Chains A and B, each alone.
Chain A
Amino acid sequence: MDYEAVIGLEVHVELNTNSKMFCGCSTTFHAPPNTCVCPVCLGMPGVLPAINRKAVEYGIAVGLVLNCTISKWSKMDRKNYFYPDLAKNYQISQYDLPLAYGGWLDVEVDGRTKRIGITRAHLEEDTARNTHTLGGGDSGVDFNRSGVPLLEIVTEPDIRSAQEAYAYLTLLKQILSYLGVSDCNMEEGSLRAEANVSVRRVGDPKLGVKTEIKNVASFSGTYKAIEYEIARQISVLSRGESVVQETRGWDPDRGITVSQRSKESAHDYRYFPEPDLVPIAVNDEWVEKIRASLPELPRARKQRFVTQYSLSEYDAGVLTTTRAMAEYFEETVRAGAPPKPAANWIMGDLQALLTESKQEISSCRIAPSDLAEMIILIEKGTISGKIAKDLLPEMFATGSPPDKLIKEKNLVQLSDISELESIAREVIAANPGPAADYRAGKTKALGFLVGQLMKATQGRANPKLANELLIKELNKIS
């Protein structure tokens, strides 16, 4: 019997506004526990929330790029439940009138385009973070995260496989990074995905019983968890049993999902409109202002790179992976570097240096204008490509411009014919054996002699010229 999976995703995105959703506290991740707190995000008696306008703008921006309708009139609600990480024991969220709704996102899976419906995107506040001592006993609550703005993005149950889910998450993360609305850092929890998974017989219009998979720390984890869950549910149904509606956690060590909470113990959140806040009114003017300020998104940028810079689809794709890399490339080209060599250097040597040192291109010490200058020097023949390969790590480590390093280390390419001729003669004289071999027809010996010449010039000799002149000298009758 054939089954198909029906999957919907809920993604929580921490918005990287400077201050929290309802107070002025910093949202920084790297702070000692309970140092970015105030009476509001601690839920002290007598406090009131005041909404962060920037967070609303970020939410609208995300709504627009996900092709949603932006609500002219939305409101915040209280979601009530008791837990020590919830300062007020209610979370301010949005229930029936979300900020954005009814959108879609097209993702590429195996060369096909799949449209995934976006049900809604709504604003809420993050909870604090609970920590427990090993073996139990003591628990601590860090309220630094309490009140950090969150955008929850919910898809329609349009996803049919783990690959589609993975493609959606990857593209969504890329878009959110491009917008600059979130750090999208999964380790720090600024992006969290939950999957609702059910299976049904192919052709059955009715949805199967779903389970909700939580606590997955990476997209590849989500991929594996969905794969596992689909297989598990199919095997349950094949045995003639039924799937239990429940929340399941992903155990990455064992590679399985584990039951956490069944529907019987599900919360009644007793949502009601937040009386401490006035409704969020969004007029067309505001939406259009935000729309006008949206950056070029990855797909459009990739196409432009192909046409404007004559790059291959592949190169354009790699260079537009992140907005920072795309911008780095364009700045390098604007500073005078030809596009193709610029692309090669960035995707090749520079990316290797970044990967090796675990750095992001945004914090790279080589200014795009310096990389452009280096490429221009190669094009002009001032330095060799080989020299440049050694020069780049120096630039990377020091942040110094190439001309300064070239002067300091005397790296200018040797292209003076008479000087190279005399060095070639010296090399031949110093290596009579290989010279004789070459003349005897063993042309391989030339490589050795070129190597010796490069060594004698500390690698500065123009390699093409060195080759030509050695052959010329060797062919002279001695």
Chain B
Amino acid sequence: MAKEWFRLTAHEIRDAVLGGAVSAEEVTRSFLSRIEQVDSKVCAYVDVWRDAAISRAREIDARIRKEGFRGALAGVPISIKDVLCTKQGYTTCCSKILRGYRSPFDATVVERLWEAGAIFLGKTNMDEFAMGSSTENSAVQLTRNPWNLDYVPGGSSGGSAASVAADEAACSLGSDTGGSIRQPAACCGCVGLKPTYGRVSRYGLVAFASSLDQIGPFTKDVEDCALMLGTIAGRDPRDSTSVDLPVPDYCQALNKDIKGLRVGMPREYFTEALGGEVREKIEEAIRSLEKLGAEVVEVRLPHTEYAIAVYYIICTAEASANLARFDGVRYGYRSPRATDMRQMYHLSRSEGFGPEVRRRIILGTYVLSSGYYDAYYLKAQKVRSLIRQDFVKAFEMCDVIVTPTSPTPAFRIGEKTDDPLQMYLSDIYTISVNLAAIPGLSMPCGFTKGGLPVGLQLLGKHFDEMTLLRVADAYEKNRGFDIGHPPIN
């Protein structure tokens, strides 16, 4: 039987490929057969680029042989959330309105992974336009949690998280506006990072909420996370909000001790509302960090209670403008029933967008309307500054903040689809992080009795991904359990 290359991490694959232990083609074929084997159950992918992946792998093999190519991700098979523009295949955001749409360009992050020698396996499922927490809002398909197929993989980047958890990709790229990387990473038991706003170029990310969106990696371990971040981070002249700060070698954060490091526990996050197995696992993780020499301090984030309200004003306002371009004029779905211009707009958008997207566009249009702007949008921006200030102050007392990623583990498919508000509340620990523009990382810290992963969230200062990765790596190497692989074959 062929070696199960799909079980390996990205750095292991890269080392094996560059060391001549295996060809990129063999690795790629291994992943492709894994996809064939399990994706009919998981449904992580909406498009698999089988032939392109194989010819790309051959190209990498040839370049290694002929040019001595040494890319940081040479031969590493990667999946991409369908919200990122790729010249290859389709870019649909899992929406009917973009069905069949092909992007004329690659997102900057895609270009950077390509230059590093990555092999793209295809595009992954997501909540339509990244709006959702369970991937149930996809217009294409339902994705199932590889740890238990009756459960959601989280969202909105559920397909990316599931693809990595089910060993259908070594790594994946997702996007995170209010938790869309960290929450599915927690649900599926992988490492997910939302970098500091401005750390990674958003060029080629189909915008949901421009001031909150950030692209980040899903990986099987912290080392891969450092590797991926180092590859995609950095200033891009095409994204004015990307910051011109040097990109450190994030792998320098690995294998370091955390003695004397101050770990903050926000009082507002560990209330009575947080109960059960999630609290148990988080407290266990905090004890592990203490054992490693970290000092745990209580910090205050007094404006936490406003975060969800502020988030749903700002993100919907920005979305209402960002999604205005989907009008049936230049590309995408145009209703065949339209007989004049007004109808073309009205019917194309009503028929092309799903209910959650429509709900948010309407909310966003409302909060920006004349007469309501000051009460909603402007007020929300002010409170957003307070939330950001909360974190800046908290980080005077500590080096990282530790929280649960989500108040609960993954829920059953269909459990919350009729209750949008309940769905919004599952993002309570992740949303403030986007509002404050700081980096956040989710990693597994154990399983529930039912066998579902629980996510630990680590938050850092602006542009201090180094410390996040250092703590995450130390914890990962000392947490006392192996994440293993989901029981799916």
8 further A-B pairs in the complex, CB-CB below 8 A; given A48-B238, A268-B370: A45-B325, A46-B204, A47-B203, A51-B240, A80-B324, A141-B330, A270-B373, A276-B207
B211 to chain A, nearest CB (A): 4
Query: Which residue in A45, A84, A272 is a CB contact (below 8 Å) of B329?
Result: A84
B330 pairs with A45, CB closer than 8 A:
no
Q: Digitize B334-365: 1 where CB-to-A-CB distance is under 8 Å, 0 elsewhere.
A: 00000001000100000000000000000001
B318 pairs with A275, CB closer than 8 A:
yes
Which one of B35-43, B61-69, B97-105, B166-174 is at the A interface?
B97-105
In the complex, chain A residues whose CB is within 8 Å of the CB of B93: 45
B91 at the interface (CB under 8 A from A): yes
Query: Which residue in A42, A44, A46, A270 is a CB contact (below 8 Å) of B368?
Result: A270
Q: How many residues of A contact B (CB 8 A)?
A: 28
In the complex, chain B residues whose CB is within 8 Å of the CB of A84: 327, 329, 341
Query: Which residue in B207, B240, B370 is a CB contact (below 8 Å) of A277?
Result: B240
A243 to chain B, nearest CB (A): 23
A44 pairs with B104, CB closer than 8 A:
yes
In the complex, chain A residues whose CB is within 8 Å of the CB of B317: 272
B448 at the interface (CB under 8 A from A): no
A45 pairs with B206, CB closer than 8 A:
yes
Q: Digitize A58-95: 1 where CB-to-B-CB distance is under 8 Å, 0 elsewhere.
A: 00000000000000000000101010100111100000
A381 at the interface (CB under 8 A from B): no
In the complex, chain A residues whose CB is within 8 Å of the CB of B329: 84, 141
Q: Interface centre among B202, B204, B325, by most A CB within 10 Å?
A: B325
In the complex, chain A residues whose CB is within 8 Å of the CB of B103: 39, 44-46
In the complex, chain A residues whose CB is within 8 Å of the CB of B91: 45-46
Q: Digitize A84-109: 1 where CB-to-B-CB distance is under 8 Å, 0 elsewhere.
A: 10011110000000000000000000
B369 at the interface (CB under 8 A from A): yes
B107 at the interface (CB under 8 A from A): yes
B331 pairs with A82, CB closer than 8 A:
no
A276 pairs with B241, CB closer than 8 A:
yes
A317 at the interface (CB under 8 A from B): no
A89 pairs with B240, CB closer than 8 A:
no
Q: CB-nearest residue of chain A relative to B105?
A: A39
B365 pairs with A270, CB closer than 8 A:
yes
B101 pairs with A45, CB closer than 8 A:
yes
The docked-state distance in angstroms from the alpha carbon of A275 to that of B368 is 14
B104 pairs with A50, CB closer than 8 A:
no
B window 215-254: CB within 8 A of A: 237-241
B85 at the interface (CB under 8 A from A): yes
In the complex, chain B residues whose CB is within 8 Å of the CB of A39: 103-105
In the complex, chain A residues whose CB is within 8 Å of the CB of B205: 46
B240 pairs with A88, CB closer than 8 A:
no
Contacts A46-B207, A48-B202, A50-B238: A272 and B325 contacting too (C-beta < 8 A)? no
Listed by A's residue number, 5 A-B pairs whose Cβ atoms lie within 8 Å are A45-B91, A46-B203, A50-B238, A270-B365, A275-B210
The docked-state distance in angstroms from the alpha carbon of A87 to that of B329 is 9
The docked-state distance in angstroms from the alpha carbon of A84 to that of B338 is 15
A417 at the interface (CB under 8 A from B): no
A352 at the interface (CB under 8 A from B): no
B392 at the interface (CB under 8 A from A): no
A82 pairs with B324, CB closer than 8 A:
yes
In the complex, chain A residues whose CB is within 8 Å of the CB of B98: 45
B147 at the interface (CB under 8 A from A): no
A186 at the interface (CB under 8 A from B): no
Query: Which residue in B241, B345, B370 is a CB contact (below 8 Å) of A82?
Result: B345
A43 at the interface (CB under 8 A from B): yes
The docked-state distance in angstroms from the alpha carbon of A42 to that of B105 is 13
B429 at the interface (CB under 8 A from A): no
The docked-state distance in angstroms from the alpha carbon of A420 to that of B125 is 101
The docked-state distance in angstroms from the alpha carbon of A421 to that of B231 is 95
Contacts A39-B104, A46-B204, A275-B211: A89 and B327 contacting too (C-beta < 8 A)? yes
**Contacts from B to A (Cβ < 8 Å):** 84-85, 91, 93, 98, 101, 103-105, 107, 202-207, 209-211, 237-241, 317-318, 320-321, 324-327, 329-331, 341, 345, 365, 368-370, 373, 377
Q: CB-nearest residue of chain A relative to B328?
A: A84
A49 at the interface (CB under 8 A from B): yes
In the complex, chain A residues whose CB is within 8 Å of the CB of B368: 80, 270-272
Contacts A48-B202, A78-B321: A43 and B330 contacting too (C-beta < 8 A)? yes
Q: CB-nearest residue of chain B relative to A270?
A: B368
Q: Which 5 A-B pairs have the closest CB atoms?
A: A89-B324, A275-B210, A270-B368, A275-B211, A46-B85
A78 to chain B, nearest CB (A): 5
B240 pairs with A272, CB closer than 8 A:
no
In the complex, chain B residues whose CB is within 8 Å of the CB of A50: 237-240
A278 at the interface (CB under 8 A from B): yes
Query: Which residue in B85, B240, B345 is a CB contact (below 8 Å) of A45?
Result: B85
The docked-state distance in angstroms from the alpha carbon of A43 to that of B321 is 12
A15 to chain B, nearest CB (A): 19
The docked-state distance in angstroms from the alpha carbon of A277 to that of B365 is 21
Query: Which residue in B101, B321, B345 is a CB contact (below 8 Å) of A272?
Result: B321
Q: Digitize A392-413: 1 where CB-to-B-CB distance is under 8 Å, 0 elsewhere.
A: 0000000000000000000000
A88 pairs with B211, CB closer than 8 A:
no
Q: CB-nearest residue of chain A relative to B330?
A: A42
Query: Which residue in B238, B241, B326, B327 is a CB contact (below 8 Å) of A278?
Result: B241
In the complex, chain B residues whose CB is within 8 Å of the CB of A51: 240
In the complex, chain B residues whose CB is within 8 Å of the CB of A88: 321, 324-325
B321 pairs with A276, CB closer than 8 A:
no
In the complex, chain A residues whose CB is within 8 Å of the CB of B320: 80, 270
Query: Which residue in B107, B202, B209, B330 is a CB contact (below 8 Å) of A87?
Result: B330
The docked-state distance in angstroms from the alpha carbon of A84 to that of B330 is 9
A276 pairs with B330, CB closer than 8 A:
no
The docked-state distance in angstroms from the alpha carbon of A268 to that of B36 is 51
B230 to chain A, nearest CB (A): 23
Q: CB-nearest residue of chain B relative to A46?
A: B85
The docked-state distance in angstroms from the alpha carbon of A128 to that of B8 is 51
The docked-state distance in angstroms from the alpha carbon of A276 to that of B208 is 12
In the complex, chain A residues whose CB is within 8 Å of the CB of B241: 48, 275-278
B54 to chain A, nearest CB (A): 27
A window 278-327: CB within 8 A of B: 278
Contacts A45-B98, A270-B365, A278-B240: A89 and B202 contacting too (C-beta < 8 A)? no
The docked-state distance in angstroms from the alpha carbon of A82 to that of B98 is 19
Q: Interface centre among A49, A141, A275, A277, by most B CB within 10 Å?
A: A275
In the complex, chain B residues whose CB is within 8 Å of the CB of A278: 240-241
B321 to chain A, nearest CB (A): 5
Q: CB-nearest residue of chain A relative to B91?
A: A45
In the complex, chain B residues whose CB is within 8 Å of the CB of A78: 321
B46 to chain A, nearest CB (A): 16
A48 pairs with B324, CB closer than 8 A:
no
The docked-state distance in angstroms from the alpha carbon of A87 to that of B206 is 15
In the complex, chain B residues whose CB is within 8 Å of the CB of A80: 320-321, 324, 368
Q: Digitize A242-256: 1 where CB-to-B-CB distance is under 8 Å, 0 elsewhere.
A: 000000000000000
The docked-state distance in angstroms from the alpha carbon of A78 to that of B373 is 14
Q: CB-nearest residue of chain A relative to B86?
A: A46
The docked-state distance in angstroms from the alpha carbon of A452 to that of B214 is 91
In the complex, chain A residues whose CB is within 8 Å of the CB of B331: 44
Contacts A84-B341, A90-B321, A90-B324: A272 and B373 contacting too (C-beta < 8 A)? yes
Q: CB-nearest residue of chain A relative to B95?
A: A45
In the complex, chain A residues whose CB is within 8 Å of the CB of B85: 45-46
Q: CB-nearest residue of chain A relative to B129?
A: A45
The docked-state distance in angstroms from the alpha carbon of A270 to that of B368 is 5
